[in-house]
Amino acid sequence: MPPHADPALEKRILDAARKLWRKGGEKALTMRAVATAARTTTPTLYGRFRNKLEIMRALRIHIRQELYAMLKETETPQETCESYINFALSRPHEYRLLTESWALAHIMAEPTPSFDMMKERLAKRFGGQPNEYHRLTLALWSMLHGMVTLAISGRADKSLQADMRQACMEALETLALTMPTDKRSNQLKASATD
């Protein structure tokens, strides 16, 4: 009689991979370690995932969904930024895994629900349409990512982290009020060339 497929196997594998990733990042994530932690065999693991990169991709998708769910609970751009920072600082290995693929996701035009949500938050707070806030959202993400990366690296003590966090919140307001939206920026460029 052939063995029965285990419907919970993929979840066990990803849960095990995530625990390993949280503890030690990519170095801890070997196919053998994942199989052992998931209480399965290495050949069975290879039957579900061809390699470590596929497991990492599945983890990224799951982490991206969790970040989006967390950010979705916010209402203002400030709350969204605070929630983003909290997520990243509380899960440094997962944050690194998530952000390693962002440039590639952008190039491949993959969906960016958290990025799009921030544009909506900005439009609601400052007026206009969400698509007018692409550049501002990109600037905010770059600023937040830099702050979080410095904090995660261990090169910023708690006092500096608090100052950077406060500076990010203040910069959000300043940028939003002084930076032209994409629409206004394009109009300014067009009038400058006329």
Question: The CATH number of the domain where 39 resides is what?
Answer: 1.10.10
> What's the pLDDT score for residue 42?
95
Name the average pLDDT for the chain. 85
> What's the pLDDT score for residue 1?
38
7-44 residue pLDDT tens: 789 899 999 999 999 888 889 999 999 999 999 999 99
Question: 177 and 102 in one domain?
Answer: yes
Question: 132 and 114 in one domain?
Answer: yes
98-122 residue pLDDT tens: 888 776 666 666 778 889 999 999 9
CA 90 vs. chain centroid, Å, equals 13
> What's the pLDDT score for residue 175?
81
> What's the pLDDT score for residue 40?
94
Residue 191 maps to a domain: no
52-103 residue pLDDT tens: 989 998 898 889 899 999 999 999 899 999 999 999 999 998 998 888 877 6
Contacts of 125 (CB under 8 A, 6+ apart): 76, 77, 176
Percent of the chain beyond pLDDT 70? 85
Question: 76 and 137 in one domain?
Answer: yes
Give whole-number Cα distances, 77 to 27, 115, 136, 171, in Å. Answer: 35, 11, 11, 12
Question: 152 and 101 in one domain?
Answer: yes
Domain count, the chain: 2
Question: 80 and 44 in one domain?
Answer: no
CATH number of 140's domain: 1.10.357
Q: What is the mean pLDDT of residues 136-153?
A: 91
Question: 84 and 36 in one domain?
Answer: no
Question: 82 and 170 in one domain?
Answer: yes
- Which residue type, as a one-letter code, is found at position 150? L
The DSSP secondary-structure symbol of 181 reads: P
Question: 31 and 77 in one domain?
Answer: no
pLDDT at 191 over 60: no
Contacts of 17 (CB under 8 A, 6+ apart): 29, 34, 37, 38, 55, 58, 59
Cβ-contact 14, 55 below 8 angstroms: yes
Residue 168 maps to a domain: yes
Question: 65 and 44 in one domain?
Answer: no
Cβ-contact 31, 40 below 8 angstroms: no
Domain residues for 46?
8-50
